């Protein structure tokens, strides 16, 4: 699994095990870290000072702003109606589906094992709990958990001194 020449990684990006990362046609900003067994597809943009933990999948259409944390095994989608073939039985090609964009805003965190469906936004400083299935946009500062993910709190109410 190579980091392709088409991947634009700032020189300060840390990839501790580059032979275990599949990245192509993407952009990764300064001081970010990419863990092993991560795939980052064409057109994905990852901002500065982000962490993408092992076994995560970032598909075409995903934009991650600065200072975002993506936990282990997080999966993004980009097709609301995935099919292998068209109605006539022919194999679907690049022109036979609609890619939908997903945005993860500044300082958001996505817990391990979360699934983020396409066509939505995770707001600034929002926190997605581990294992959540995000089916609709998450407001800024919200804490969401469950399947489907639902708002259970506000990060501004947490007094951890880290905000």
pLDDT in tens, 103-156: 999 999 999 999 999 999 999 999 999 999 999 999 999 999 999 999 999 999
Mean of all residue pLDDT scores within the chain? 95
pTM of the full structure: 0.94
Q: What would the pLDDT profile of 56-88 be if each residue is shown by its tens digit? A: 999 999 999 999 999 999 999 999 999 999 999
Count other Cβ atoms within 10 Å, centred on residue 58: 28
For residue 15, pLDDT beyond 90: yes
**Cα end-to-end span (Å), the chain:** 36
């Amino acid at each position: 699994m190579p980091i392709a020449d088409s991947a634009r990684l700032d020189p300060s990006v840390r990839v501790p095990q580059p032979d275990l990362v599949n990245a192509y046609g993407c952009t990764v900003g300064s001081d970010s870290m990419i863990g092993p067994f991560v795939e980052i597809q064409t057109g994905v943009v990852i901002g500065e000072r982000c962490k993408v933990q092992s076994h995560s999948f970032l598909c075409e259409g995903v934009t991650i702003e600065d200072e975002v944390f993506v936990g282990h095994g997080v999966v993004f989608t980009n097709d609301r109606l995935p099919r292998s073939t068209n109605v006539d039985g022919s194999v679907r090609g690049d022109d036979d589906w609609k890619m939908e964009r997903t945005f993860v805003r500044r300082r958001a965190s996505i817990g391990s094992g979360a699934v983020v469906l396409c066509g939505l936004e995770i707001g600034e400083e929002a926190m997605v709990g581990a294992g959540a299935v995000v089916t609709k946009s998450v407001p800024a500062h919200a804490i969401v958990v469950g399947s489907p993910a639902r708002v259970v709190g506000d990060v501004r109410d947490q007094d951890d001194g880290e905000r």
